[in-house]
């Protein structure tokens, strides 16, 4: 029997398998729930309901409702957090096989396309874009928690909308096959610039999460079909 979360006092939460319906898209269509999901993803390791509510400046009861909706959609999972004293408690983190759905507002898609169109795809500018992406990736990668670096990277890519599938090919080597391109509209305007930004973002995540690892392959694909390949060498074996 599943235990209720000690910090919630609620009954066990039913689980719906990812992909079972369109509920994942509906779950992230609600702005506050999307914020909750994003914060859970960036945290890395499991985070309790009360801690999450405090970080977001929201009431725990409301956050709990959003977490239950995300759990039913297969987007977050619940894990026991060991305690030095007393009973263990539950924390939440992005499900490894989460498949976020939904679309951002049109204005954001248009803005991304306009920005991509405004940057010429010249070598010097592409290097500048990649450097900017790397700085952003370092910021995103600095999350608390003790989860393995490849898991945290996978969850970060999930939170950004890439729907990654992670595969450990050999010791220290991990491949992410991206099932979605959240920048597909902007890619249509200027693929070289957008992919340079994405590559830099990936390198920045590695800088923060696994400084000894290196990006061995970064293979863009047609955005409407997705399937971009990210291969990393040098992750600590787990």
Q: Which CATH class is domain 23-94?
A: mainly alpha
pLDDT of the residue at 99: 67
* Phi and psi at residue 24, to the nearest 5°: -65, -40
Residue 238: pLDDT band (50, 70, 90) is: low
CATH of segment(s) 106-233: 3.30.1380.20
pLDDT one-digit tens code per residue, 124-176 = 999 999 999 999 999 888 766 677 888 889 888 887 888 888 998 777 899 99
Structural domain spans, the chain: 23-94, 106-233
* pLDDT given for residue 90 in this prediction: 84
- Compare 115 and 86 and report the one with higher pLDDT: 115
Angle at 85 between CA 81 and CA 86, to 5 degrees: 80
53 CB-near residues (< 8 Å, 6+ apart): 59, 60, 62, 63
pLDDT tens readout for residues 72-110: 888 888 887 766 676 777 889 888 667 665 444 455 666
């Amino acid at each position: 029997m599943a235990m209720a979360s000690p910090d919630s006092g609620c009954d066990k939460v039913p689980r719906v398998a990812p992909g079972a319906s369109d509920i994942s898209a509906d779950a992230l269509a609600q702005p506050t729930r999307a914020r909750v999901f994003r914060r859970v993803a960036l945290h890395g390791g499991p985070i309790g309901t009360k801690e999450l509510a405090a970080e977001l400046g929201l009431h725990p009861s409301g956050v709990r409702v959003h977490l239950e909706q995300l759990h039913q959609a297969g987007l977050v999972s619940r894990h026991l957090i060991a305690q030095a004293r007393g009973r263990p408690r539950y924390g939440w983190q992005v499900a490894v096989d989460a498949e976020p759905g939904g679309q951002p507002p049109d204005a954001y898609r248009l803005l991304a396309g306009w920005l991509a169109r405004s940057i010429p795809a010249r070598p010097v500018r592409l290097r500048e874009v990649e450097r900017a992406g790397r700085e952003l990736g370092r910021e995103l990668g600095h999350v608390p928690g003790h989860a393995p670096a490849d898991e945290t990277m996978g969850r970060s890519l999930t939170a950004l909308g890439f729907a990654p599938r992670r595969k450990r090919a050999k010791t220290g080597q991990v491949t992410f096959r991206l099932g979605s391109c959240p920048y597909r509209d902007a890619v249509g305007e200027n693929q070289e610039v957008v992919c340079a930004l994405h590559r830099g973002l990936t390198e920045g995540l590695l800088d923060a999460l696994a400084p000894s690892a290196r990006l061995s392959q970064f293979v863009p694909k047609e955005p409407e079909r997705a399937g971009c390949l990210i291969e990393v060498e040098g992750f600590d074996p787990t």
